[in-house]
Amino acid sequence: MGTQRIVGLFLAFVIVFGGLTYFKRKNASSTLRVVTWSNYYPDTVIREFTEKTGIKLELSYISSNEELFSKLKAGATGFDIIQPSDYMVRQMIRTGMLLPLDHNLLGHLSHLDEYYTKLPYDLGLKYSVPFTWGTTGISVNTEKIQVPATGPSWRLLLDSPTPQHTALLDDMREVFSAYLLWVGKPMNTKDAATLEQAKTSISDIKNKILMFSSEPKPLLLKGEIHIAHIYSTDGIQAQIENPKIQYLIPKEGGVIWTDNFAIPKSSIRTKEAHEFINFFLNPENAVKIATENYLALPNKTALKLLPSEMTSNPNLYPSPEVLAKFHFLEDLGETLPFLSRLWTELKSS
């Protein structure tokens, strides 16, 4: 009888312990960790995703592609969805950081415009899926600053009439690209002498302006800065909130970018990660995010569902003639560490 009781207690312990372990694993697997940019996912959309899929989302934010890359390179784990921009996707593929995607789990891929399935940084979307795109330009408070009659130029930002109220993006590639375009050089140059000269000039600019900032929109709206180096999404959002703040596309051209879904190799929730990507490729869900945050979409089906005031906005969807002057950032390969050193030197000087 004593032996039977001991065996019974042991079996009960095994069942309870096993059940708790299973519950913990199940609970852990139902939470998807997403690393993204700020102001991307409205709370309503997050709640809707969880209600429809049963998967909880835990969001964390990055201020630059280089920050994301550094975290993964340093061995950070636990991320299930990341949203690198175009050139960073190429770099992550080259360094073996990304998991190949299973297109059989991504039925809504069919809604993408064909152009966005053939981008050079990931032909055939083997490792990434473009979700939004935009440009990088300049926002100006026209109550404080007069836009030159000759049209907006990078000079307005880099030779600012009010440097004490001017901010550059805290983004190495964007800052160097803006300067190189202004002086008529290729923004993806690997020429060391050209980059050294650019660093010297940007250092002089840095000593005059107020700050580097990855989040210039609130500073514009508060009136703390009058001229900002800015992504189109933030610039257009600021203009909607205050029409005196205008987003301008420089006549020299600029950076065109895509933000992409990708799954890091360290993810342990790959099925749920694919479910996340497919959910937001659904045109109805893509539209909810686009209309909330004024994001341009590569989703051809979703475009038909957008209000005309968005699709006809030349800052959100520039004409082909304007876009011809814009270029994707390229992977600089062995030149990247050199550029990173220059950036560190000018930021710390």
- Looking at the structure of the chain, the number of domains it has is 2
Per-residue model confidence (pLDDT) at position 11 = 45
Instruction: Return d(Cα 209, Cα 41) in angstroms, integer.
Output: 32
Q: How confident is the model at residue 333 (pLDDT cuts 50, 70, 90)?
A: confident
Instruction: Return d(Cα 188, Cα 181) in angstroms, integer.
Output: 10
Per-residue model confidence (pLDDT) at position 75 = 86
**Whether 110 and 191 share a structural domain:** no
pLDDT in tens, 173-206: 999 999 999 999 999 999 999 999 999 999 999 9
Instruction: Return d(Cα 187, Cα 206) in angstroms, integer.
Output: 19
Tokens 């650019």 belong to which residue?
198
Q: Is residue 180 part of a domain?
A: yes
Residues 282-287, mean pLDDT to the nearest whole number:
96
**Whether 201 and 333 share a structural domain:** yes
Looking up residue 110, the CATH number of its domain turns out to be 3.40.190.10
**Whether 35 and 69 share a structural domain:** yes
**Whether 112 and 171 share a structural domain:** no
Residues 262-280, mean pLDDT to the nearest whole number:
96
Residues 318-342, mean pLDDT to the nearest whole number:
93
**Whether 69 and 148 share a structural domain:** no
Mean pLDDT score across all residues of the chain: 90
**Whether 16 and 116 share a structural domain:** yes
**Whether 148 and 237 share a structural domain:** yes
**Whether 157 and 304 share a structural domain:** no
Q: Is residue 317 part of a domain?
A: no
Q: How confident is the model at residue 30 (pLDDT cuts 50, 70, 90)?
A: confident
Instruction: Return d(Cα 123, Cα 263) in angstroms, integer.
Output: 16
Per-residue model confidence (pLDDT) at position 212 = 96
Instruction: State yes or no: pLDDT of 172 exceeds 90.
Output: yes
Q: Say how many residues make up the chain.
A: 349
**Whether 203 and 341 share a structural domain:** yes
Domain coverage including residue 274: 7-133+261-309
Per-residue model confidence (pLDDT) at position 40 = 84
